[in-house]
């Protein structure tokens, strides 16, 4: 069963992250890197990506003539996707356990970030993977 | 350059929309046609639909590192319904694809005009964070 683990945050949260010390960022990235290695070793890893800064986000709609209309202004309170992991696991509990691991990645001073991770199963009836 | 196009639904509702079957079929046929076209152009990295929000969980780690799941979300929360990752030559091409998705047919064949959030995907963590 495939699940996507979504890590979201606000623009203020992203600004806070940029203020972390290099040491704290290194420790954080090392844990995330090790989680990816563990998932690869267990055969559960499908994909992971970090997204670029919310400042580069656009919301797009199609006009009547099919031309894109872009809008780049978002309220400060909006939650933005920061990154995700796609895992292929035996059951939901395993997906929750991985999300909990990600949640405990260290933040400033080595304390767990305690970031909430949204866990969503892929729609099995209409998967459009090529 | 890689972009993720995210289709969000505004409400924590669940289930297939109560559209006439013909309209749902036209919507799905449109999406499948678009994915096929993106695949043929070599621009499609992946496209997935997610299961309905009633199956979503928010996970945090407890003190012992075990997952604590929470399945209750406010009605107002935006949910990711599905996403496309595309690899395109320019932001404008990504906007054009998002506009196509935005104009997918809804009830009665009228374009849905859904907002599509578009974000650049980072190819790797910044070098200074490794």
Query: Dihedral sign, CA of B15, B20, B84, A123?
Result: positive
A126 — pLDDT class (breaks 50, 70, 90): very low
Q: What are phi and psi of A40, to 5 degrees?
A: -65, -45
* ipTM of the complex as predicted: 0.76
Q: How far is CA A87 from CA A23, A121, B14, B23, in A?
A: 29, 10, 23, 33
Residues of chain A in contact with residue B51, where contact means CB-CB under 8 angstroms, are 120-124
- CA-CA distance, A110 to B57, in Å (whole number)? 26
Q: For the whole model, what pTM was predicted?
A: 0.82
- Catalogue all structural domains in chain B, each as residue range(s) with its CATH number: 2-11+24-124 (3.30.70.1060)
pLDDT value of residue A61: 84
Query: Which residue in B8, B119, B125 has the most chain A C-beta atoms within 10 A of its own C-beta, making it the best mutation to test that interface?
Result: B119
Q: How far is CA B92 from CA A54, B1, B37, B66, in A?
A: 18, 11, 17, 44
In order of B22, B45, B69, B107, the CA distances from B18 in angstroms are: 11, 31, 30, 9
Cα(A32)–Cα(A45) distance, integer angstroms: 13
pLDDT in tens, chain B (130 residues): 999 999 987 665 556 777 889 998 998 899 999 999 999 999 999 999 988 888 888 898 888 888 888 876 776 677 888 999 999 999 999 999 999 998 888 888 888 888 899 999 986 655 555 5
- In angstroms, the separation between the Cα of residue B76 and the nearest Cα of chain A is 12
The arithmetic mean of pLDDT across residues A9-16, rounded, is: 82
Residue B50 DSSP one-character state:
B
Task: Judge whether B102 is closer than 8 Å to chain A, CB to CB.
Answer: yes
pLDDT above 90 coverage of chain A, percent: 44
Query: Torsion over CA of A6, A7, A8 and A14, rounded to 10 degrees?
Result: -150
Find all residues with CB under 8 Å of A99, minimum gap 6, and list them. A5, A117, A119, B57, B59, B67
Q: Do B85 and A62 touch (CB under 8 A)?
A: no
What pLDDT was estimated at residue A75?
A: 72
Per-residue pLDDT, averaged over A17-42, amounts to 91
Domains (ranges, CATH) in chain A? Answer: 5-121 (3.30.70.1060)
- Give the H/E segment covering residue B16: none
């Amino acid at each position: 069963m495939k699940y996507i683990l979504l890590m979201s945050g606000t623009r203020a949260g992203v600004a806070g992250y940029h203020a972390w010390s290099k040491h704290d960022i290194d420790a954080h990235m090392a844990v995330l890197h090790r989680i990816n290695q563990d998932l690869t070793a267990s055969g559960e890893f499908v994909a992971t990506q970090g997204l670029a800064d919310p400042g580069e986000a656009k919301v797009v709609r199609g006009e009547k003539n099919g031309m894109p209309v872009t809008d780049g202004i978002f309220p400060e309170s909006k939650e933005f996707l920061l990154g995700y992991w796609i895992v292929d696991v035996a059951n939901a509990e395993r997906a929750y356990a991985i999300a909990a691991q990600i949640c405990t990645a260290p933040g400033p001073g080595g304390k767990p970030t305690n970031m909430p991770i949204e866990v969503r199963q892929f729609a099995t009836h209409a998967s459009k993977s090529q | 350059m890689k972009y993720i196009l995210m289709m969000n639904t505004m409400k924590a509702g669940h289930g297939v929309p109560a559209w006439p079957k013909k309209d749902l079929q036209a919507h799905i046929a449109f999406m499948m046609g678009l994915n096929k076209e993106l695949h043929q152009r070599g621009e499609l990295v992946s496209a997935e639909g997610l299961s309905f929000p009633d199956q979503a969980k928010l996970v945090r780690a407890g003190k012992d590192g075990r997952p604590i799941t929470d399945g209750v979300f406010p009605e107002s929360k935006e949910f990711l319904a599905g996403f496309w990752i595309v690899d395109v030559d320019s932001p404008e091409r990504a906007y054009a694809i998002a506009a196509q998705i935005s104009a997918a047919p809804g009830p009665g064949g009228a374009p849905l005009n859904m907002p599509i959030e578009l974000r650049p995907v980072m190819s790797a963590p910044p070098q200074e964070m490794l």
